[in-house]
Amino acid sequence: MNLFIQQRFDTIEVRLIESPVITSYRILRREIGPSDGKIRIKAILGNGGALELFEYVAESDANVQLLNYSFHWQSADGALKRRWDNAPHYPELLNAPHHVHSESEVVQEIIDVPDVFSIIEEIEAALKKS
């Protein structure tokens, strides 16, 4: 088991617990190998919405790198709010494969690659406004 990845996954769990907009969460998958790891989480938001988080990471020289991700935010009625991912199906985007799907079904490029922490911050800010 890789201690750097274990620490990252533990920190993600602490962030979920501390978030004022997340009422509960379930870890659906948490696998840590000698050099890589996967985590999948489903969280319920205070407004009835949901957030599904997936990261596949690898460690090299004490640095944990995000290889694949998908962060899916939906409203209480199940409608897509946003989904950030790096599936390679929009190669024409400037920073492909990184992109975000919006509720209006528009796909946009992402310049700053997100992670679980930045997504939680963005959702907290959005829910604080509403």
Question: Treating both helix axes as pointing N-terminal to C-terminal, what angle do 116-129 and 3-18 enclose, rounded to 10 degrees?
Answer: 10
Amino acid at 24: S
Predicted TM-score (pTM) above 0.85 = yes
> Does residue 62 carry a pLDDT above 80?
yes
Return the closest-CA partner of residue 65 out of 118, 109, 123, 4. Answer: 4
What six digits make up the tokens of 3?
Answer: 């201690």
Q: Where are the alpha helices (DSSP H) in 1-130?
A: 3-18, 116-129
- Summarised one tens digit per residue, pLDDT across range 69-111 is 999 999 999 999 999 999 999 999 999 999 999 999 999 999 9
Secondary structure (3-state) at 13: helix
| CB 18 within 8 Å of CB 32 | no
Determine what percent of the chain is predicted with pLDDT higher than 90: 97
